[in-house]
Chains A and B, each alone.
Chain A
Amino acid sequence: MTTELFTGAEMVVKALSALKVKYIFGYPGGSVLDLYDAIFQQDEIEHILVRHEQAATHMADGYTRATGKVGVVLATSGPGATNCVTGIATAYMDSIPMVILAGQVPTALIGNDAFQETDIVGCTRPIIKHSFNCRDLADIPNVIAKAFYIANTGRPGPVVIELPKDLLIPQNKAPFHIETNVKMRSYNPNIKGHPKQIRKAVKTINEAKKLVVYSGGGIVLADAAALLTQLVETLKAPITNTLMGLGGISGLHENFIGMLGMHGSVEANKTMANADVILALGVRFDDRVTNNVEKFCPNATIIHVDIDPTSISKTINAHVPVVGLVDVVMQQILDELVATKFTPNEAALQDWWQQIHLWRDMRHVGYKQVVGEKIKPQRVIEAMYKITKGEAYVASDVGQHQMFAAQYYPFAKPRQWINSGGAGTMGFGLPAAMGAKLAFPDKHVICITGDGSIQMNIQELSTCMQYSLPVVIITLNNRSLGMVRQWQDMVYDGRHASSYMESLPDFIKLAEAYGHVGIKIDTLDELDSKLEQAFNIKNKLVFVDVLVDEKEHVYPMQIRQGAIDDMWVSKGVKA
């Protein structure tokens, strides 16, 4: 019996099928044409042709954030691969698993500055979890299997595989063998928390009088929302989420005190600042949370649970570090609480919650909408929340609109909120929304964006047409790079250097030119009805261009270099 032989291109497709991949997001070019030919001749995996490789990475990313499944990107060598760099960095910063297949010139030409040769493994080295230079045809399946394993275990992240053209061509063949049960001697992520640390953590929790739970993107990545909710209810503690962690517990849960950090709620930041114990779950004490680290929560004993040891005690010293998968560790903590017959300290809790309610009452009313005046951006988010009953997937771009969405759309479930938190990549929103819509065609999928951000990947309107991806794009059009403008108002005496968006296109006509529907909203009285109308159009992409008040700032806002709870609550007013 002769073993069947396959080309490298066929092996890629076979390996991806074996790993149950449904979609590849990509764009063809010389070095990967053999792979495209192989994809063309099968129908297990669908290729989605974007209009720019950056969008392929964001679309894969959005698909992953919405579903938890690893996204796959395919790009040609040289410019195709370098166009992926921003998307890879975006995924890396938010720990999103992704596998990027990048073409390369034939092995014999590598190093010769051949046509469309770029060292993509070198280019991406600081922004990937791992990468492979594939040099042997027979290795392809196992390299792909390893890439998936690495991308999706431990702290997830993007993995790049470079595939030289000579490995893919029809002339070269080898037998296909794949080991999907990957084991590596150099890579064994921790899973369980160390029992001694769990006991320490529970002891610390037991002694707390002012406990706060601070949870982040790790909860979303681990699909650990139910456990988190159970833990919070057991402890009866207040909980705050990071921007990345929204939806980790329902935004309407009575223990939820809002997002923390730069544009977090006053009560969340005050609660953190005054806590005696902080239970940090799947977070990394980002500078957008802590503000000045020297002044960060001086009286708190910090229990820090994370899968990545480098995140622990990197910026803020952890008194009780616990390395492990956040869901596994939460279960260990819950078990230990039961074993030690934990009962909440009701008296302390009552005082603590009373204090938190006082802070909550201090909450400045977020915004004032006067009838007859320009639409406030926050009001648009509230309308969108009502119409979608809080159940939409909301993919955001970056800017003021992102913060308004985070503040005014309480997410009930994890994965509903899709945003570029770590990298803050403008241009992320639309392709990410497309990825979510592809996964959930029957759900409302919104791209909340700004007049600046939307133009960074607007060409994808064409992809939406090709694959019928009727997302609802809501542009909070303030005719400016609002977030930049806000900083210029606050820090640069209102000198608006290059933060105006002059010569904006007519977004309605633009949407129509791509074959979609455009709706313009510029007065308050038509806001609700026109938005409703937009969401009622089911089979077409609707581009809603809402003209909002360009003077509105995002509040609350941390005062630079201050403590976590040093905040502006409105123009010139401190908390």
Chain B
Amino acid sequence: MRHILSILLENEAGALSRIVGLFSQRAFNIESLTVAPTDDNTLSRITIATIGDDRVLEQIVKQVNKLVDVIKITDLTKRKHVERELLLVKVAAVSDKSRTEVKRISDIFRGAIVDIGKQIYTIELTGSSDKLTAFIETLNNETEIIESVRSGCVGIARGEKALRV
């Protein structure tokens, strides 16, 4: 099963490498990983999307928690949460027809065309990872994808629940 783990840790040199190292050392899966400082710049927040059964997940959570730099870890998928990922994708838009079609698809998915070249559109889309994947598939049927980049997902719990020190 897919899980989204949110980790709050000290914003210190080497902290990220410990997390990444732990996952590779213990053969835990990483589907995506994002990291950035939080509103408190002594803290970093890492979001990891991973796949594993309950037993593996229990070990991942415990092992991450054991790292001295880590303050908190939570499995967002255990409760109601909001999940978002950002996609930037550059597609071929050579003919009028394909430009119209790309624009139409992008509108349907609520994407925004953020850059236009002679024969290229760059589209920005945010949403759940599933939505991004669906968007890419749809585009792929219509035109040529020249380049794409995904941020990896971030998430936050719904309601009162907050991950903070």
Contact = CB atoms under 8 A, between A and B. Distances in A.
Interface residues of A, number: 19
A314 B58 CA distance: 9
Contact of B59 (A126, A130, A150, A310): A310
Given A126-B25, A131-B14, A133-B13, A309 B66 contact: yes
Interface of B: 9-10, 13-14, 17-18, 21, 25, 55, 58-59, 62-63, 65-66, 68-71, 165
A115 interface: no
Contacts of B13: 133, 135
B144 to A, nearest CB: 40
Given A121-B14, A126-B21, A186 B68 contact: yes
Contacts of B55: 313
A122 B59 contact: no
Given A126-B21, A135-B13, A309-B66, 12 more contacts: A129-B68, A133-B13, A186-B9, A186-B69, A186-B70, A308-B66, A310-B59, A310-B62, A310-B63, A310-B66, A313-B55, A313-B58
A387 to B, nearest CB: 44
Nearest to B165: A185
30 contacts: A121-B14, A122-B17, A125-B18, A125-B21, A126-B21, A126-B25, A129-B68, A130-B68, A130-B69, A133-B13, A135-B13, A150-B68, A184-B68, A185-B71, A185-B165, A186-B9, A186-B10, A186-B68, A186-B69, A186-B70, A186-B71, A187-B68, A308-B66, A309-B65, A310-B59, A310-B63, A310-B66, A313-B55, A313-B58, A314-B59
Contacts of A121: 14
A309 B55 CA distance: 13
Contacts of A187: 68
A309 B66 CA distance: 8
B17 A125 contact: yes
B59 to A, nearest CB: 6
Interface string A146-181: 000010000000000000000000000000000000
Nearest to A133: B13
A152 to B, nearest CB: 13
A314 B62 CA distance: 10
Contacts, number: 36
Interface string A118-137: 00011001100111010100
A130 B55 CA distance: 25
Nearest to A127: B25
Nearest to B10: A186
Nearest to A131: B14
Interface class of chain B by DSSP: helix
Contacts of B62: 309-310
Contacts of A150: 68
A464 to B, nearest CB: 36
Contacts of A186: 9-10, 68-71
Nearest to B63: A310
Contacts of B68: 129-130, 150, 184, 186-187
Interface string A93-128: 000000000000000000000000000011001100
A139 to B, nearest CB: 12
Contacts of B17: 122, 125
Contacts of B14: 121, 131, 133
B143 to A, nearest CB: 43
Contacts of A125: 17-18, 21
Nearest to B68: A130
List the 4 closest A-B pairs by CB distance, nearest first: A130-B68, A310-B62, A186-B71, A126-B25
Nearest to A135: B13
A189 to B, nearest CB: 10
Contacts of B10: 186
B47 to A, nearest CB: 18
Contacts of A126: 21, 25
Contacts of A122: 17
A310 B26 CA distance: 12
B6 to A, nearest CB: 15
A521 to B, nearest CB: 45
Interface in A182-203: 184-187
B49 to A, nearest CB: 22
Contacts of B25: 126
A309 B10 CA distance: 21
B11 to A, nearest CB: 11
